[in-house]
Structure formats: C-alpha cells, structure tokens
C-alpha cells in the first residue's frame, strides 16, 4: 500500500511494489513522481528525511537527506543580506542550501531497496515527458506560486504556462525534469552532484548573488542516524533526530503522557487547552535546541528523559494559557509532501520531501529549453543569525528542519503499527501529536484520524496565535479565548492546507493494511 498527496504518485509507488520492490523502492518512485505532479511543494531541488522499518529485524533506521549551507557563506555575509532583520530574506540566494533529496533517494534505494533506480524512476520520467493532468488543490497553489515567486525568480518561468500556473485538469509537461530524472536513473547521485546539473545549479545561485559552488555539491552526503522515540499509550512513536523538528512531537507527547487525555472529550476546551499547551512547551525547547548535532551538542537524551517531562509538565496551568513559557535546561547534554509505503513483507517507509515555502526560491537551473525542470529550495531561511544560538548559520552546517516523517510500533513487542506523517512547515509536529492522540487515545482508524478538525500554533513558537479550522464549535473557541489563547478567525477553503496534509498506513497483526489520506490534499491511498 502507498499513501501520497497525489493519486498518480501513489500509483507510481504501487507499480514499484508490483514489480517486486520494497517499501523503500515504492517511496523513491512516489517521491520522484510527486516532484513531477506537485512541484510547488517538493522536488529534487530540495531535501528529504526517511524512517524505515525492517520487518525481518524490527529495526528502525533514520535517513537524513538534508543539505548544508555553502562553504563560502559566512554569518557576516548573511547578516549583510538580512539588513538588520533576524533572518535572511525568504527567497534570497543565500537561503539555497545543497539539495539533499537526490542523494537521499539513491541512498534509501541502495540500503533498503531491490529495484534498479531506472525502474523506480520510470513512472516519474513518463509523467514528466508525456504530461499529466494537474490536480485541483495543486493548481490553486501553483497559480499562487506563479504570481508570487516564479514570475520574478531566475528561470522560474520554466515551471509555468506562459507565466501562469496550469489550471485544474490541464495537462502539464516538464521535459527538463524528465532529462534530470533520466540522468539520475542512468548515473545515480553522481549525475546530479557533479557535471552539467551541478554546474547549472551553482551558476544559477551565483548569478543571483549567492555563493553555492560545484565543490559544495560534490561534497554532499546523506547520513544514517539513530532514530529517536518515546512511548505513548502503548505505542512507540519514532522520529528522526535533530536537525529535524520531530523532537518537538516527542516532547509534547511526553508532556501529555502525564495527563488523562482520552477522558476529555475530543472537542472539549479541556482537551484542546492541554494539547495546545503541551505543544507550546515543546516549541519553547525545540526552537532553541533543534540544530545540527555535528556542529553543536544537542541534549536529545536529556530532553526526552521522563524526569525532564515531569519538570516541563509544571508549566501546564488548567486555568490559563502559558504564552510566556521558556525553554528548560535538560541534563545530558516549513511546502512539503509526505508519503508512506508498506510492502507485502511488512517493511515500511515513512518519507518526506520538500523544497520549502512553495517552489522554494523559485530559481530553476539551466537556461531556456535547456532548463533542468526543478526549483531550488530556500531551506537556509531557517538558520538563526543570532551569534551563540545553536542553530546559528555557519559554513557547511545543516539548518533547523521542519520536515519530519513519523512511524509507530507496538511498544510491547516492537511490531509495526504503521508509518504516518502530516506535512506543513511548523504544523508538522502539531499534526503528529493530534493524529497520534486520535489513534492512541481515541482508537480511531487512519482516515478518521486524518479527517478530524485541527488547530495550528501559527509560527511554531511558544507564544504563537492559534488558528482554528472551520467547523469547530463556537463554544470551543470561546473557552480557549477565556483561558488566554490568542485565536485567529476560522480558516476554511483551500487555506485549510495550513493544518497539514497527512497520510497513514496501519498494518494489522494479520498483515491487512488500512490506509488514510488527508482530505486537505489531492491525495489517495493505493493498494493491491
């Protein structure tokens, strides 16, 4: 089974499974097809993260496919570009970090896959070259991206139809991306990080005032990490470690584990106040401590310790919102697509791929018809420019990353419950928490857990305002306001995508797979 935000991409992953591939092969096929069918959210010009459950051993491995800041980019240069602001301009050339997705795909397939890369990438190549009908939600955001980003970004017009986004149902072809994927299918990651594609990437960034070099691209490597986890209501919840923000979800769940959640009504003020507060407490820590562990010491073990959770629970006040919650001192130490796949042997892959903020910088490498058909990410916008901050920008450093895959196993025996994820910038750990509560505390099946209305602490900070999805009871909003939570008006229509777009596949003890795909996306679950 494969669950993804585009039906054609889910079919591409399913084809890999039908040809005898593993969940890893299906994830690569799906991710590549999503690059074609939803380029506003993802692509080979961005980054990826993955969690892989190996049925034979019960082991969970974490893939970090995020890129690093250019070796020639200094804090001083970034501050000059920021011109007094606390962060780089959103789509400045200095926000382009090395795209890690291509190496991530290749490394995932090499370690856990069976199919040749050319087979896994075949459906995506066909979609790019022959064309595909654009889905409705994608068309809406594509047009917005064309207006706000692509029309002014160097090379961005290559991803438009005469300057506009393709309409819903309109067939869009991307021969440049087809050439890129064919090169990778034949030459692997080497074809992307060295040679003509790498030279075009570096030339595009440098012409726009950046410093990314071919040497930066050639030096890139993915890393395999030790996955981090916590136990919540009998389920072990797995996340990738920092520099990803999956730690945020685990911190919030650790806070919630000390309270009765299931006994509070799903739409009660008491439950929503508790969930919001747990996430405020978690963000207070995460926005300081989440950084590149190869550059600074991240006290992950201390942050996840039960004694630390006990201490952090003291911030919870049932009578008021804690908008001033501060980070603790533990001992020891942002446009996206999410997809998941489970194969017939019970292997599972939870995978997420992003170019950030809708087309990223919008810069497309190559010129005219010789373009390479993908936009470059702006992930470097997440660096802090504050000296001494763990996430401060430095040459060759990975930034705080918003994209996080999730995975659940049964705590008692380590068997697979299933992969899950909710995409959407700082909404992602909030979505993880709300979905896990639905599954673990309320016993919901996957689709019902994804259908539930959600909240979002908008800027991912402890004191942020709370956006509420349209359709929630007025009494709930009134009760939260009375406790001091600043609320934004109801969010409806296409804008509901801000609450994340999730996918879940649950595997039963008998091997039966049960999937769900978020109604806030164009997605689907495909199985056989």
- Express each pLDDT in 410-444 by its tens digit: 999 999 999 999 998 899 999 999 999 999 999 99
In this model, does residue 190 exceed pLDDT 70?
A: yes
Please state, in angstroms and rounded to a whole number, the distance separating the CA atoms of residues 70 and 92.
14
> 26: exposed, middle or buried (C-beta count within 10 Å: 0-12, 13-18, 19+)?
buried
In this model, does residue 209 exceed pLDDT 80?
A: yes
In this model, does residue 197 exceed pLDDT 50?
A: yes
Whether 359 contacts 40, CB under 8 Å: yes
Please state, in angstroms and rounded to a whole number, the distance separating the CA atoms of residues 456 and 465.
8
DSSP assignment of 413-432 equals T--EEEEEEEESTTHHHHHH
What radius of gyration, in Å, describes the C-alpha atoms of the chain? 21
Could you tell me the pLDDT band of residue 460, with boundaries at 50, 70 and 90?
confident
Please state, in angstroms and rounded to a whole number, the distance separating the CA atoms of residues 108 and 65.
9
Could you tell me the sign of the dihedral formed by the alpha carbons of 119, 123, 124, 128, in that order? positive
Count of C-beta atoms within a 10 Å radius of residue 310 = 12
Could you tell me the pLDDT band of residue 498, with boundaries at 50, 70 and 90?
very high
DSSP state of 92: -
In sequence order, what are the beta bridge partners of 225? Answer: 62
Whether 38 contacts 10, CB under 8 Å: no
The predicted structure's pLDDT at residue 301:
96
Kindly list the strands in the beta sheet with 348-354, ordered across the sheet, starting from the edge strand earlier in the chain: 223-226, 59-65, 47-54, 348-354, 336-342, 2-4, 524-526
Q: What percent of the chain lies above the pLDDT cut of 90?
A: 95
The predicted structure's pLDDT at residue 105:
98
pLDDT mean over 405-414:
98
Nearest to 40 by CA among 339, 353, 492: 353
The predicted structure's pLDDT at residue 210:
98
pLDDT mean over 378-400:
96
Residues 74-84 have pLDDT tens digits of 999 999 999 88
> 120: exposed, middle or buried (C-beta count within 10 Å: 0-12, 13-18, 19+)?
buried
**Helix segments in 83-172, DSSP class H:** 101-112, 117-130, 136-145
How close are the terminal C-alpha atoms of the chain, in Å? Answer: 7
pTM score of the predicted model: 0.96
pLDDT mean over 313-324:
95
The predicted structure's pLDDT at residue 477:
97
Please state, in angstroms and rounded to a whole number, the distance separating the CA atoms of residues 14 and 7.
10
392: left (phi over 0), alpha (psi -120 to 50) or beta: beta
The structure tokens 């420019």 sit at 385
Please state, in angstroms and rounded to a whole number, the distance separating the CA atoms of residues 113 and 109.
4
The predicted structure's pLDDT at residue 253:
98
pLDDT mean over 140-162:
96
Buried b (16+ CB within 10 A) or exposed e, 140-158: bbbbebbeebbeebbbbbb
In this model, does residue 312 exceed pLDDT 80?
A: yes
Residue 199 is inside which H or E element, if any? helix 196-207
Nearest to 354 by CA among 371, 374, 372: 374
Average pLDDT of the chain to the nearest whole number: 96
Residue 505 tokens read as 């596949």
Distance between alpha carbon 394 and the CA centroid of its chain, in Å? 23
The predicted structure's pLDDT at residue 331:
63
Whether 331 contacts 430, CB under 8 Å: no
The predicted structure's pLDDT at residue 425:
83
The structure tokens 């409705």 sit at 136
With a CB cutoff of 8 Å and minimum separation 6, the contacts of 21 are 29, 113, 114, 115, 119, 120, 343
The predicted structure's pLDDT at residue 18:
98
Residue 430 tokens read as 């909030």
In this model, does residue 493 exceed pLDDT 60?
A: yes
The predicted structure's pLDDT at residue 216:
98
Could you tell me the pLDDT band of residue 334, with boundaries at 50, 70 and 90?
very low
Please state, in angstroms and rounded to a whole number, the distance separating the CA atoms of residues 519 and 332.
41
Count of C-beta atoms within a 10 Å radius of residue 114 = 15
The predicted structure's pLDDT at residue 333:
39
In this model, does residue 378 exceed pLDDT 50?
A: yes
In this model, does residue 489 exceed pLDDT 90?
A: no
528 vs 96, residue with greater confidence: 96
The predicted structure's pLDDT at residue 335:
66
| Torsion angle of C-alpha atoms 430, 436, 438, 440, degrees rounded to 10 | -150
Residues 8-22 have pLDDT tens digits of 999 999 999 999 999
pLDDT mean over 223-227:
98
In the chain, what are the domains? 2-39+69-220+362-376 (no CATH), 225-335+402-526 (3.60.20.40)
Residue 489 is inside which H or E element, if any? strand 487-491
Please state, in angstroms and rounded to a whole number, the distance separating the CA atoms of residues 240 and 407.
10
With a CB cutoff of 8 Å and minimum separation 6, the contacts of 495 are none
Strand 466-469 to strand 487-491: parallel, antiparallel, or no bridges (unpaired)? parallel
Whether 99 contacts 15, CB under 8 Å: no
Helix axes 117-130, 101-112, angle to 10 degrees: 140
The structure tokens 């006994």 sit at 263
Residue 353 is inside which H or E element, if any? strand 348-354
Residues 337-360 have pLDDT tens digits of 899 999 999 999 999 999 999 999
């Amino acid at each position: 089974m494969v669950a993804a935000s585009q039906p054609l991409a889910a079919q591409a992953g399913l084809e890999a499974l039908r040809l005898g591939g593993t969940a890893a092969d299906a994830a690569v096929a799906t991710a590549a097809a999503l690059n074609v069918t939803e380029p506003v959210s993802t692509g080979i010009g961005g980054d990826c993260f993955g969690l892989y459950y190996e049925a034979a051993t019960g082991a969970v491995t974490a893939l970090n496919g995020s890129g690093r800041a250019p070796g020639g980019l200094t804090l001083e240069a970034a501050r000059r570009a920021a011109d007094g602001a606390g962060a780089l301009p959103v789509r400045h050339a200095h926000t382009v970090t090395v795209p890690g997705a291509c190496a991530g795909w290749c490394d995932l397939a090499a370690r856990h896959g069976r199919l040749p890369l050319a087979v896994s990438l075949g459906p995506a190549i066909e979609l790019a070259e022959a064309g595909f009908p654009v889905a409705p939600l994608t068309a809406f955001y594509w047009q917005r991206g064309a207006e706000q980003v692509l029309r002014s970004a160097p090379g961005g017009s290559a991803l438009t139809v005469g300057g506009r986004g393709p309409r819903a149902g309109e067939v869009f072809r991307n021969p440049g991306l087809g050439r890129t994927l064919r090169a990778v299918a034949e030459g692997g990651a080497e074809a992307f990080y060295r040679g003509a594609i790498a030279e075009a990437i570096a030339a595009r960034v440098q012409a726009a005032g950046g410093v990314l070099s071919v040497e930066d691209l050639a030096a890139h490597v993915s890393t395999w990490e030790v996955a981090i986890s916590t136990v919540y209501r009998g389920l072990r919840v797995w996340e990738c470690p920092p520099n990803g923000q999956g730690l945020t979800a685990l911190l919030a769940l650790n806070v919630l584990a000390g309270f009765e959640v299931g006994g509070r009504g799903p739409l009660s003020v008491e439950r929503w106040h508790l969930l919001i507060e747990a996430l405020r407490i978690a963000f207070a820590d995460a926005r300081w401590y989440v950084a590149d562990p190869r550059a600074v010491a991240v006290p992950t073990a201390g942050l996840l310790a039960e004694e630390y959770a006990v201490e952090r629970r003291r911030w919870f006040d049932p009578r008021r919102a804690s908008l001033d919650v501060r980070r603790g001192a533990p001992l020891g130490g942002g446009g996206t697509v999410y997809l998941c796949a489970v194969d017939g042997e019970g292997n599972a892959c939870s995978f997420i791929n992003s170019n950030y903020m809708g087309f990223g910088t919008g810069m497309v490498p190559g010129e005219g018809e010789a373009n390479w058909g993908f936009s470059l990410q702006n992930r470097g916008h997440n660096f802090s420019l504050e000296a001494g901050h763990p996430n401060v920008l430095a040459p060759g450093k990975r930034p705080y990353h918003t994209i996080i895959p999730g995975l659940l196993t049964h705590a008692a025996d380590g068997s697979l419950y299933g992969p899950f994820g909710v995409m959407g910038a700082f909404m992602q750990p909030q979505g993880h928490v709300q979905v896990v509560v639905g599954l673990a505390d309320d016993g919901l099946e996957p689709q019902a857990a994804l259908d539930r209305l959600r909240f979002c602490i908008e800027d991912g900070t402890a004191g942020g305002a709370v956006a509420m999805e349209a359709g929630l009871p007025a009494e709930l909003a009134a009760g939260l306001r009375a406790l001091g939570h600043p609320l934004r008006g109801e969010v409806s229509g296409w804008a509901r995508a801000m609450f994340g777009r999730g996918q879940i596949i649950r595997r039963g003890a008998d091997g039966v797979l049960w999937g769900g795909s978020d109604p806030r996306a164009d997605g689907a679950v495909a199985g056989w």
